[in-house]
């Protein structure tokens, strides 16, 4: 693996990519440093905004909403179509910023921008399919139906691990549904956010859409607080930890707002005796080590039948030993850095706890490139064999740690899969149709995502994304997730010339 790029090289790449996207003031003048996890050095600085800025942005978005909600949905789709075209033109630039700010390897960063493009395509089609229902009325000469209308201003709070894709899931759908968006991105990825917002601003200007349909607020917790508490935010979509969700959910509910929460995941894959172990190994290694274990859908538990557990552990350990670890900008790198020192410390604390709770570290866990970049935290993905689902296994650690647990019966395996507070993603590797259908059935996985013969990560935008239990219950992206961004009205039209009442009620005057 080649050495890490210099700080000056990273700064140059950040400046050039951002300016090509339309961010022309990246060179300095701000009050907050932006660091790259690639080498721990400063990329640039940005100016943080305050909670008062958040209040003003919500007010501007409210003005835009009153105009945008009356624009026909297909015309709203034209804005999103143009945004998708600009994302295609600047895919490389935006992916560069994602890699620089959060450490994603090149292919994963490009994949994240592709998700943005894909959701724009989905939303454009959706703009002609915001269907309601016609319902049979019990009264003659009456029509009963449902209509869907724009909801209001959508607030988005996003996390570092998908610094732009999750915003685009919300924004593309919200815009075609008639809603403006106010976005607080992760403090760790402001440049990616500013570049994405600049491209959307350009699309807004080119299509003649109202100003302030899209606004980005770079700042700290006080900005998030402004979105959480503002009565002008009709829907708050927040991605983060379960702890964050516990704080946000009640605050939004207190003011009778809507919340869409995407919180923690402690995802498992069950491996049955009939599984193809070559396919299983590939699926597990990507799901567990991809994005350096920093996806909400990262595989954290492998629940493996006792007849194949030793063989599979050996295969995974061999694959881990060959994983190229280093600069995410280098071709061939598969594991980039953790986002910060605190992430590294959490990983080491979890490994210590696993040992204390009877675990055996089979592979990984060590640090790489510490002498070359003391401020960067590259780690070897860890493989830990456990005899039971101990407290540390039931806890999500946002780092590449894969716990392997044995099982004897499928009932036992499903119980282990479900015996955690989180309920985001899950999978089963099997050659048995019976086992697959049982896993997908009502007494199978209790997660929002349940896969067969693929890992827990890598969701497509066509399906609704989200989970159950402490994952928050929200659904974003595809399928009918658009309904969260609209309000439903039930309509009764009387064309009979008389006034029969429902349920046979008589009220003659």
DSSP string, 252-282: HHHTT-EEEEE----EEEEE-TTS-HHHHHH
180/185 Cα distance (integer angstroms): 16
Residue 341, number of CB atoms within 10 A of its CB: 14
What DSSP letter does each residue of 198-215 carry, written as one string?
Answer: HHHHHHHHHHTPPTTSEE
The CA distance from 185 to 49, in Å, is 12
Q: Which residue, 302, 290, 238, 292, is CA-closest to 266?
A: 302
Cβ pair 307, 351 in contact under 8 A: no
Q: Give me the catalytic one of 262, 396, 435, 476.
A: 262
Identify whether 8 is a catalytic site residue.
no
β-strand 401-407 against 382-385: which pairing, if any? Answer: parallel
Give residue for tokens 């630039």: 93
Q: What is the CA radius of gyration of the chain?
A: 24
364, two tokens: 């990984």
Rounded to the nearest 10°, the torsion over CA 21, 27, 29, 32 is 80
Longest dimension (CA), the chain: 90
Token pair belonging to 471: 């994952």
Q: What's the CA gap between 336 and 106, in Å, rounded?
A: 10
Burial of 361 (0-12, 13-18, 19+ CB in 10 A): middle
Contact in structure between 484 and 477 (CB atoms under 8 Å): no
Q: What gap in Å lies between CA 396 and CA 379, rounded to an integer?
A: 17
Alpha-carbon span 113 to 183, nearest angstrom: 17
- Strand locations in 372-485 (E): 378-379, 382-385, 401-407, 422-423, 425-429, 449-452, 464-465, 468-469, 476-477
Closest CA to 152 of 231, 229, 215, 80: 231
**Strand duo 233-239 + 153-157: pairing:** parallel
Residue 9: CA count within 13 A, CB half-sphere = 8
The residues assigned a catalytic role are 262
């Amino acid at each position: 693996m080649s050495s890490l790029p210099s700080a000056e090289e990273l700064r140059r790449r950040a400046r050039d990519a951002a300016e090509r996207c339309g961010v022309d003031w990246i060179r300095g003048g701000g009050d907050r440093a932006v660091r790259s996890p690639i080498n721990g050095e400063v990329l640039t600085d940005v100016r943080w905004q305050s909670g008062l800025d958040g209040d003003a942005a919500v007010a501007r978005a409210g003005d835009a909403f009153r105009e945008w909600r009356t624009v026909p949905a297909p015309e709203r789709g034209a804005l999103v179509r143009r945004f998708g075209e600009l994302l295609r033109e600047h895919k490389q630039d935006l992916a560069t910023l994602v890699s620089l700010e959060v450490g994603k390897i090149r292919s994963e960063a490009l994949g994240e921008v592709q998700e943005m493009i894909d959701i724009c395509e989905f939303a454009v089609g959706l703009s002609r399919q915001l269907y309601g229902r016609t319902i049979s009325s019990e009264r003659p000469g009456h029509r009963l139906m449902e209509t869907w209308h724009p909801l209001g201003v959508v607030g988005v709070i996003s996390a570092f691990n998908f610094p732009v894709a999750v915003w685009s899931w919300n924004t593309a759908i919200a815009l075609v549904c008639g809603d403006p968006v106010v976005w607080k991105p992760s403090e760790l990825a402001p440049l990616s956010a500013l570049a994405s917002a600049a491209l959307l601003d350009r699309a807004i200007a080119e299509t003649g859409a109202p100003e302030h349909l899209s606004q980005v607020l770079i700042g700290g917790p006080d900005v998030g607080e402004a979105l959480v508490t503002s009565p002008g935010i009709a829907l708050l979509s927040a991605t983060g930890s379960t702890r964050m969700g516990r704080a946000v959910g009640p605050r939004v509910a207190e003011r009778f707002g809507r919340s869409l929460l995407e919180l923690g995941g402690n995802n498992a894959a069950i491996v049955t005796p009939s599984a193809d172990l070559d396919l299983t190994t590939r699926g597990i290694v990507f799901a567990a080590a991809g994005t350096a274990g920093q996806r909400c859908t990262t595989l954290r538990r492998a629940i493996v039948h006792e007849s194949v557990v030793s063989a599979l552990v050996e295969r995974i350990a061999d694959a881990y030993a060959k994983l190229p670890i280093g600069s995410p900008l280098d071709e061939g790198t598969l594991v980039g850095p953790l986002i910060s020192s605190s992430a590294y410390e959490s990983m080491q604390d979890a490994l210590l706890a696993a040992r204390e709770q009877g675990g055996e570290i089979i592979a990984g866990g060590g640090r790489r490139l510490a002498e070359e970049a003391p401020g960067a935290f590259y780690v070897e993905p860890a493989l830990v064999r456990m005899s039971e689902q101990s407290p540390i296994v039931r806890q999500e650690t946002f780092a590449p740690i894969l716990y392997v647990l044995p099982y004897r019966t499928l009932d036992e395996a499903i119980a282990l899969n479900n015996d955690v507070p989180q309920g985001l993603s899950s999978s089963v590797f099997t050659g048995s149709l019976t086992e697959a259908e049982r896993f997908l059935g009502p007494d199978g996985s209790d997660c929002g995502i349940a896969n067969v013969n693929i890992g827990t990560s890598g969701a497509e935008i066509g399906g609704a994304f989200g989970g159950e239990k402490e994952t928050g219950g929200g659904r974003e992206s595809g399928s009918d997730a658009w309904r969260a961004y609209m309000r439903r009205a039930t309509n009764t039209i009387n064309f009979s010339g008389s006034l029969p009442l429902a349920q046979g009620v008589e009220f003659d005057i």
